[in-house]
């Protein structure tokens, strides 16, 4: 078996695949840029190794990154997604934190990752300590799911206020949504106390 001495960093983008290979023995650095093979990204990765003259048998580590999912999101080449959120917080995703083209005033355009008609609210509320202030309205979750499916949503994100400290409402809502739609995503795993940021991490 040949010695393993190459550490490779690979970045698969929407257009190009970039590779950086470092020889831990000599310190030599090799670079390569090849077209991304969209149908099978592994082909582009192997082509980048070949372009850099890197023998796969000598790899000791691979560090992989990709922007393809981010690109698909920005270019709106993803599934139609719906959002179920805490009553009163439907527009947090769109308002953001001064991320609009014009921070003040009503000029400019901004297209949120989930359109407003696909962002629905249900009664429920936790406080910052995880205490239930308003019980989850399960019937409202079921009705919201029905509406989102009727709108053509292929996936549903569930994002409730303060679920980072108590995810019980999100988990129950996910169960209800999954009984009607197999692609429900609870963002409780994001563990962020900022609604806009943690909603964005659902992706």
Domain range summary for the chain, segments of one domain joined by +:
6-71, 79-200
**Which letter does DSSP use for residue 70 in this model?**
H
Distance of alpha carbon 70 from alpha carbon 144, whole angstroms: 27
CA 42 to each of CA 10, 12, 17, 35: distance values in angstroms, whole numbers, following the listed order? 11, 10, 10, 12
Distance of alpha carbon 144 from alpha carbon 110, whole angstroms: 25
Q: Which one of 3.90.600.10, 3.10.20.600, 3.30.420.40, 3.90.1300.10 gives the CATH number of domain 6-71? A: 3.30.420.40
The structure's pTM equals: 0.67
Token couple for 193: 């106390």
Tens of each residue's pLDDT in the chain, 203 residues: 668 889 999 999 888 999 999 998 899 999 999 999 988 999 999 999 999 999 999 999 999 988 887 888 778 888 888 999 999 999 988 777 655 666 666 666 677 889 999 999 999 999 999 999 999 999 999 999 999 999 999 889 999 999 999 999 999 999 999 998 766 666 544 444 455 444 544 44
């Amino acid at each position: 078996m040949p010695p393993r001495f190459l550490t490779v960093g690979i970045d698969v983008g929407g257009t190009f695949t970039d590779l950086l290979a470092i020889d831990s023995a000599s310190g030599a650095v090799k670079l390569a840029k090849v077209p991304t093979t969209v149908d099978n990204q592994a082909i582009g990765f192997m082509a980048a190794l070949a372009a850099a003259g890197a023998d796969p048998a000598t790899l000791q580590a691979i560090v992989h990154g990709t922007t393809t999912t981010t690109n698909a999101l920005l270019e709106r080449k993803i599934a139609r997604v719906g959002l179920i959120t805490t009553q009163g917080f439907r527009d947090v995703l769109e308002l953001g934190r001064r991320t609009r083209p014009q921070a003040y005033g009503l000029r400019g355009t901004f297209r949120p990752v989930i359109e407003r008609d696909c962002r629905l609210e249900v009664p429920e509320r936790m406080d910052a300590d995880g205490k239930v202030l308003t019980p989850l309205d399960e019937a409202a979750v079921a009705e919201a799911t029905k509406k989102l499916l009727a709108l053509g949503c292929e996936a549903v994100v569930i994002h409730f206020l303060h679920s980072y400290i108590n995810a019980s409402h999100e988990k129950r809502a996910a169960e209800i949504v999954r009984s009607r739609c197999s692609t429900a995503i609870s963002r409780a795993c994001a563990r962020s106390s900022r609604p806009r940021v943690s909603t964005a991490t659902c992706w």
